[in-house]
Structure 1
Amino acid sequence: MGYSDGALREGLLHEMVGRLHREDIREHSLEALTRRYHVDRQQAERVERTALQALDQLEQAWKLDQPHHRQMLRWAAETHEIGLSLSHSQYHKHSAYLLQNSDISGFTNLDKQQLALLVRSHRRKIPKEEFKLLPKTKQETCRRLAVLLRLAALLHRNRSRARLPEFRLEYASKRLYLSFPRGWLEQHPLTKADLEQEAEYLKAFGLKLQVA
């Protein structure tokens, strides 16, 4: 392979070479980023696992059945806490800033914009106006991925190593139904309170969350 440095970005070349060798340079780039900012890998894996379980249940209803949807959600879970290395206060904003402004090999500007927005939106008030800055074809997909990441991060907010019980997600008529085994929520009142607050936040997306 030959190349001209006057026409192609370095990131594109990295991605092309990686594909030839059945590797994705973006995976290596994010792994290096999480090491640099000392991400708690176990916590990231817990959030990732739960986010993907949620995706499995809604991928048809929400049209999130393409490989890149799963990939973007996984990357967001892996990097959502990189901002903790700067400050615990408003760390989700620091995480988004780092992703948006770091030179991450293999990522296009749009990739970084979407990833940063997912991470920025994973807790507290939803910056709904920022989703309108994405291409229209990406906005609803990004909103839905953000909801899945938010729920996963919330359910692991106590950083416990204990596995979550099986939960069920269903969607119909702008209503999202989240259910747990009988009695589990009563045994975890703080999680129940967090989910009640989350229902208020999700109204920004025109989504009604019902928990049982």
Structure 2
Amino acid sequence: MSSGESVNVAVVDIGSNSLRLQISEVKDKSYKILDDYKEMLRLGDSIYTVGYFTPEVINRIVETLTGVKKLAESRGCKNIRAIATAAFREADNMGEALIRIEDACGIKVEVISGEEEARLTYLAATANFELAGRKAVVVDIGGGSTEYTIITDGKLERSESLPLGCNRLMREFLKKDPPTSGQILEMKEHIKSAQAPLGLGRDINMVICTGGSMNNVAVVKHFKDKAVRDSNVKYVERSFLKKFIKDFSQKSYNQRIKTEGLEENRGDLILPAAIQSDLVLNETGVSGFYTLSGGLRSGLTIDTINKMGIELPFQNNTESIRYARLLEIGNKFDFDEASALHVQSLAKMLYDGLKESMDLQGRDWLLLEGAAILRDVGKHIAYSKHHKHTYYLIKHSELVGYSAKEIEMIANIARYHRKSPPKSSHEDFNLMTTADQTKVLKLAAILRIAIAMDRSHKGQIKSLEVKVKPDVVIISAKSKGDISMEIRDFELKKELINKILKRPVILT
């Protein structure tokens, strides 16, 4: 695949609870999800009762995959990569089911091991979390099994697949509705016994839970907080989880499904998953967990892209997944990478020289860095008013290593890299606190100057030195070649920084 070309890929994850399809467009060094389809097949209902797929269940799988294939083909996907997990691994008639599926709809399903499940989930985790300098455990709770992956300083240390899927646990232990305290206690002891050989200790400082049931716990929490945000990553405090478990332990299935945000098909599965996650938090002493939506299928998409001979930016930059994600998003929206990185470099020189006089510190540079790299992604939509399009694209992108508030600030900094400064009619800016508004203006002022220093997009200015004096700020530029365009644009862009610094800024 040559530069600038794109291809659509489709992956299918057939789990014990649900079948998930993800269709993505792959272009250069990035991909974006076009479709994400789910069907709750609950194959575990058959496997963990009779031990095999009944004819009706196989027919349902075939019918669903036939529809999935049509959807993928309508998106221009030439092939579908399909994997199956615990339910297929344990089905007495696995071979018969696989043959029937391939004959009926032309899809060859690969039954993967628990260890391969863990590796794929690890790929997804490293793409979505800053794991350098951390020791993390990823707990991928499916219907039939749970994969535990230990990550140290961003590297996969070890993984283990345990028969602790929520459908399996529910059917083995929680046989009454609502379950008795004795049943819950017995299930807890069973989980703890299975977890013990893992040696989950207090050296673990981050817990990531994946799988539909724990993602649904996070959705319920965010509904309760009135903070619903369409994000792949969410955070849930253990204090909420403990209340959730206590509440759901006392409710029947019909009472649970009235909970806002709860998927009806998970009303009986969510409690075993929540209890297992809480036991992990208890062993590690961590105060909460992150959820990652689409962990396994996201990892499968990344692995499929790798098999095409493409490595994504985060895989070549494990020191900073945050930075790699900025480049990945920039590539997704066809940014000028060379110009973006040069402006980022100029912005850093300006920031270092001005941070003390502008009262900037801590993570403020990371905000400016994000805005400098992504400032022009709005051109992907249209050049006209691209700064406004940039705000929207940044706000709705999955930036790694930034909080929701920081993403909003980055979007605003990039929004004000050109044209007029904020006005009373700019609602998104006015929703921020006064302190955040002030910081956005300071960083946007620096960004405007950095952009002016590369107006020709030729990288003529190699370095900048800033001298702050009581009555003036002098920026000295070392350059090669003609910088008349840069000088002219500086004169046009300096008004905001002059106002903030309360003294003239001159370029020499």
The 1:202/1:93 distance shift into structure 2, 3 A limit, reads: same
Q: Superposition pairs for residues 121-160 of structure 1, below 5 Å?
A: 121-129=416-424, 130=426, 131-160=429-458
The 1:143/1:101 distance shift into structure 2, 3 A limit, reads: same
Q: 1:81 aligns with which of 358, 364, 376?
A: 376
Q: Superposition pairs for residues 94-113 of structure 1, below 5 Å?
A: 94-104=389-399, 107-113=402-408
- Tell me if the contact between 1:177 and 1:211 (Cα under 8 Å) persists in the aligned partners: yes
The 1:41/1:88 distance shift into structure 2, 3 A limit, reads: same
Alignment match, 2:233: 11
Where in structure 2 are there 5+ consecutive unaligned residues? 1-206, 223-230, 236-288, 293-317
SS at match of 1:126: coil
**CA deviation after TM superposition for structure 1 residue 115, in Å:** 0.9
Alignment match, 1:188: 483
Amino acid aligned to 1:40: D
**CA deviation after TM superposition for structure 1 residue 97, in Å:** 1.8
C-alpha RMSD over aligned residues = 3.3
Amino acid aligned to 1:167: E
Alignment match, 1:63: 359
**CA deviation after TM superposition for structure 1 residue 200, in Å:** 3.6
Where in structure 1 are there 5+ consecutive unaligned residues? none
Higher helix residue share = 1
Is 162-171 or 139-148 further displaced after alignment?
Answer: 162-171
Instruction: Give me the whole-angstrom Cα distance separating, in 1, the residues matched to 2:457 and 2:403.
Output: 32
- Tell me if the contact between 2:455 and 2:485 (Cα under 8 Å) persists in the aligned partners: no
For residues 160-205 of structure 1, what are the alpha-carbon distances to aligned partners after superposition, in whole Å with 9 as ceiling and x for unaligned?
1334343324264xx66233269x8xx6333332222223455665
For residues 118-175 of structure 1, what are the alpha-carbon distances to aligned partners after superposition, in whole Å with 9 as ceiling and x for unaligned?
0011122222545443112322222111111111011112101334343324264xx6
**CA deviation after TM superposition for structure 1 residue 24, in Å:** 6.3
Q: 1:45 aligns with which of 323, 337, 341?
A: 341
Give the TM-score normalised by the residue count of structure 1: 0.77
Higher strand residue share = 2
Instruction: Give me the whole-angstrom Cα distance separating, in 1, the residues matched to 2:501 and 2:431.
Output: 18
SS at match of 1:156: coil
- Tell me if the contact between 1:47 and 1:152 (Cα under 8 Å) persists in the aligned partners: yes
Whether 1:116 aligns to 2:411 is: yes
How many correspondences in the alignment? 203
Instruction: Give me the whole-angstrom Cα distance separating, in 1, the residues matched to 2:393 and 2:406.
Output: 14
The 1:163/1:109 distance shift into structure 2, 3 A limit, reads: same
Instruction: Give me the whole-angstrom Cα distance separating, in 2, the residues matched to 1:24 and 1:164.
Output: 25
